[in-house]
């Protein structure tokens, strides 16, 4: 897989097209939708159709911070902590100077004043942005996998409420201190139950306090989604296990000595696909069938190489489009369950 680093972001390259192969001033949005890309870059008369690597997204961090000024007015005792480390390292980030021989980069933004206008000015300041750009990066390891270039932690809170937050600021969070943890779409759907538990759910369970609760929600396809994916990728199972499988595994393989957990019965909830109001082609919606197919691939977390192989089989692509067009509605099914520490 080819990677491009641009503007402190990392992208995977899906297609390269020479400029002279395209009409002048052509709208490239339909090609982005067709090739399931979110970004187009250009260099030396060559267009690169790419997807941003989302594992540790600088843009997500920035977008989150931009929505926070009003929250600090509504909830003055709020403390926001953001980090880019793995779930299994969450207990270390506040208590260690180094993680995997990499120095922890720390930034504390202490907000002055008491109104959202001033808070916004401070949260969008060049100091914080420079810290993020310099340290919140992504690199490719020896196994060609993405990882953080530096383990980072950012804390944001109000100066006039520091006294109330002192016990949290000085707490290393290493041992059982969280009342509530929410894990939303925190692992790949196709991962085995063991991987989901060992890499995500288990580490988060260990961070709960004596009566803490972990809420877990993940996508599990849905009838129409699975029918389309099975037609497209017969050898692959996008959703090989369910919340029930995870709970049964946890009961058979307890987390932590002398700990007892209660597990709720999983519940389902659904999202329905909504097309563009006027069915025009846009970066967000695309043509109805194209947009549905793009969303199905996204929810199914299909690898890029599998999508590219599929696109070479025009007969199969046409069958898939006909199948998608035959559905009155497409529902995306999700599961939600909770884990509560009883002792």
Q: Measure the CA dihedral 63/66/71/72, to 10°.
A: 130
Position 282 scores a pLDDT of 47
Other C-beta atoms closer than 10 Å to the C-beta of 145 total: 9
Residues composing the chain: 343
Position 57 scores a pLDDT of 63
Q: Which strands, in side-by-side order, build the sheet including 79-83? A: 79-83, 152-158, 105-111
Position 186 scores a pLDDT of 92
Rounded distance between C-alpha atoms, residue 125 and residue 196, angstroms: 38
Position 276 scores a pLDDT of 58
Position 319 scores a pLDDT of 94
Position 149 scores a pLDDT of 84
Residue 159 DSSP symbol:
G
Task: Report domain extents, the chain.
Answer: 3-52, 55-174, 175-343
Position 283 scores a pLDDT of 44
Rounded distance between C-alpha atoms, residue 185 and residue 143, angstroms: 24
Residue 41 phi/psi, 5-degree rounding, is: -115, 155
Range list of H helices, the chain? 29-34, 58-66, 69-74, 90-93, 116-123, 126-135, 162-169, 193-196, 202-206, 223-232, 243-252, 288-300, 304-311, 314-325
pLDDT per residue, tens digit, the chain (343 aa), is 677 877 767 788 888 999 888 888 888 888 887 787 888 999 888 999 988 776 556 677 888 888 999 999 999 999 999 998 888 888 788 778 899 889 999 999 999 999 999 999 999 888 988 898 888 877 776 666 677 888 999 999 999 999 999 888 876 656 557 899 999 999 989 999 999 999 999 999 988 888 899 999 999 999 999 999 999 999 889 999 999 999 999 999 988 766 789 999 999 999 988 765 555 544 444 457 888 888 899 889 888 778 878 888 999 999 999 999 998 888 999 999 999 998 7
For 36-70, letters b (16+ CB in 10 Å) and e give bbebbeeeeeebbbbbbbeebbbeebbeebeebbe
Position 75 scores a pLDDT of 96
Other C-beta atoms closer than 10 Å to the C-beta of 9 total: 17
- The tokens describing 186, both together, are 């925190």
Cβ partners under 8 Å of residue 263, min gap 6: 247, 250, 251, 337, 338, 339, 340
Is 19 in contact with 28 (CB distance < 8 Å)? no
Position 340 scores a pLDDT of 95
């Amino acid at each position: 897989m080819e990677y491009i680093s641009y503007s402190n972001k990392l992208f995977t390259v899906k297609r390269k097209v020479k400029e002279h192969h395209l009409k002048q001033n052509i709208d490239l949005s339909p090609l982005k939708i067709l090739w399931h890309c979110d970004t187009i870059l250009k260099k030396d008369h060559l267009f690169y159709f790419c997807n941003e690597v989302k594992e540790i997204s600088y843009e997500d961090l920035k977008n989150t911070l931009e929505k926070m000024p009003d929250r600090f007015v509504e909830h003055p005792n709020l403390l926001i902590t953001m980090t880019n480390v793995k779930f299994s390292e969450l207990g270390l980030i506040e208590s260690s100077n180094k993680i995997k021989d990499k120095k922890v980069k720390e930034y504390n933004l202490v907000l002055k004043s008491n109104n959202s206008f001033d808070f916004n000015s401070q949260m969008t300041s060049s100091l914080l942005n420079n810290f993020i750009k310099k340290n919140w990066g992504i690199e490719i390891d020896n196994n060609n996998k993405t990882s953080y270039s530096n383990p980072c932690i950012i804390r944001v809170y109000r100066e006039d409420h520091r006294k109330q937050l002192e016990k949290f600021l000085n707490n290393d969070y290493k041992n059982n201190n969280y009342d509530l943890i929410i894990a939303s779409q925190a692992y790949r759907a196709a991962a085995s139950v063991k991987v989901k538990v060992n890499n995500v759910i288990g580490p988060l369970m260990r961070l709960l306090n004596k009566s803490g609760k972990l809420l877990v929600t993940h996508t599990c396809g849905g009838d129409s989604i699975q029918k389309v994916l099975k037609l497209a990728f017969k050898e692959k199972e996008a959703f090989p296990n369910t919340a029930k499988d995870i709970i049964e595994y946890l009961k058979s393989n307890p987390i932590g000595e002398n700990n007892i957990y209660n597990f709720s019965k999983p519940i389902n909830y659904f999202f329905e696909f909504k097309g563009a109001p006027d069915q025009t082609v846009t970066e967000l919606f695309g043509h109805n069938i194209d947009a549905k197919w793009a969303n199905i691939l996204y929810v199914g977390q299909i690898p890029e190489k599998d999508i590219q192989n599929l696109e070479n089989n025009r007969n199969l692509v046409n069958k898939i489009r006909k199948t998608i067009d035959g559905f009155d509605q497409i529902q995306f099914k999700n599961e939600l369950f909770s884990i509560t520490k009883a002792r």
